[in-house]
Amino acid sequence: MGIYVVMDKRKVYFEMLDKLYEGHSTQEENQALDALSTKEGAQIFDAYSRSHWEVEHTPMSDDQRQRMHNDIMSRVSALEDFKRHDQRRTLRTLWSVAAAVCLFAVAAFVGYKVAQHNVEEQTFVVVAERGEQSSIVLPDGSRVRLNSESQISYTSSFNSKERTIQLSGEAYFDVARNEEIPFIVKTSEVDITALGTKFNVRAYEDESSIVATLVEGKIITASEGNSLTLSPNNSSTFDRNNRTLRVTPVENAEHAVPWLRDEVVFRGETLAQVALLLERMYDVEIEFKDEQITSYKYHGLVRNNELHNILSLIVESSPVTYRQQGNNIIFSKHN
């Protein structure tokens, strides 16, 4: 009886995956496919991908099977990491990540199918909304962590013909080494090329610069015909105002990316700039009663980046006060 139940469940999921792949699945079926984010679900999808591959092609090689299996399981692992490190997130957020894990497991199989059939490429998108962070493992095994209000996208040819990522916002990359296919991160104005390395890219459209910080390995940053090769503990900065690209040494590159450790560092940012950061990190809206206070500058490190800790630093280090009404924060001058 137990075997019958397992096989019946597998048949149901096989049918739903077929419909999803063909574009005919219903919203309820897509929600049911969230279960593929579990380890049992990964085994079901692994069996599904192998069976469909071997119906239309020669038997899948051990290497191909292992790559697909590792890809699926790494996505499950990414979800578990997200749950461990981001327990402050809401249940809604966790379910959205579970759905993303399912989506990208399916995308891995679709990518293989597209490569075989030479059909039109598909684009896959990963988003971290305001007040959230997301983690994803790409089909080549590279790991990406997205900061708040950030997005990456890539096509179904990723890891077969190329490894190109489009980035808007901020992300930390731990790149799997592949000397035959360089890993390229494209922002609106700067391209970053790597083989196997760890680096952070900050490329928010509302900021005046694009910064790539190298932790390990080597990267090349290029913009408008200029390029720079970075060694560890260096950053490249593209200034959007004067269109220049320069290298700046950092004392410790890992410490230069504080958001990975739930820290916030202020290095002379104005209160107006701090407000943009807080809106992005905590999904709040900020108003100023006094325009004068927006030019106040701040220096310091907040090791626990809870919102009230950052607000306390602002109040303690400047003649500013605030009041909070739900998701609205109103700053005013302290008399």
Q: For residue 171, what are its two tokens?
A: 């992300």
Single-letter amino acid code for the residue at 247: V
pLDDT computed for residue 63 by the predictor: 54
pLDDT computed for residue 123 by the predictor: 86
pLDDT computed for residue 161 by the predictor: 83
Q: For residue 319, what are its two tokens?
A: 């003649």
Q: For residue 3, what are its two tokens?
A: 């075997």
Domain spans in the chain, listed from the N-terminal domain onward: 1-118, 121-254, 262-333
Which of 256, 151, 269, 158 minimizes the C-alpha distance to 200? 256
Pairing state of beta strands 143-146 and 150-155?
A: unpaired
Please give the class, per CATH, of domain 121-254.
mainly beta
CATH number attached to the domain at 262-333: 3.55.50.30
pLDDT computed for residue 46 by the predictor: 67
Which residues share a beta bridge with 219?
Answer: 194, 230
Write down the pTM of the prediction.
0.68
Using CB atoms within 10 Å of the CB of residue 284, give its burial: 0 to 12 exposed, 13 to 18 middle, 19+ buried: middle
Which residues share a beta bridge with 228?
Answer: 221
Write the pLDDT tens digit of every residue in 121-134.
788 888 899 988 88
> How distant, in Å, are the alpha carbons of 104, 256, 285 from that of 269?
38, 15, 18
pLDDT computed for residue 294 by the predictor: 94
pLDDT computed for residue 304 by the predictor: 75
Pairing state of beta strands 183-186 and 163-174?
A: parallel
Q: Which residues of the chain have pLDDT under 70?
A: 1-8, 18-25, 27, 30-31, 33-42, 45-46, 48-120
Residues near 225 by beta carbon (within 8 Å), at least 6 away in sequence? none
Q: Which helix (H) or strand (E) holds 246?
A: strand 244-249
pLDDT computed for residue 21 by the predictor: 54
d(CA 215, CA 184): 16
d(CA 42, CA 237): 41
Look-up of token digits 């099977």: 65
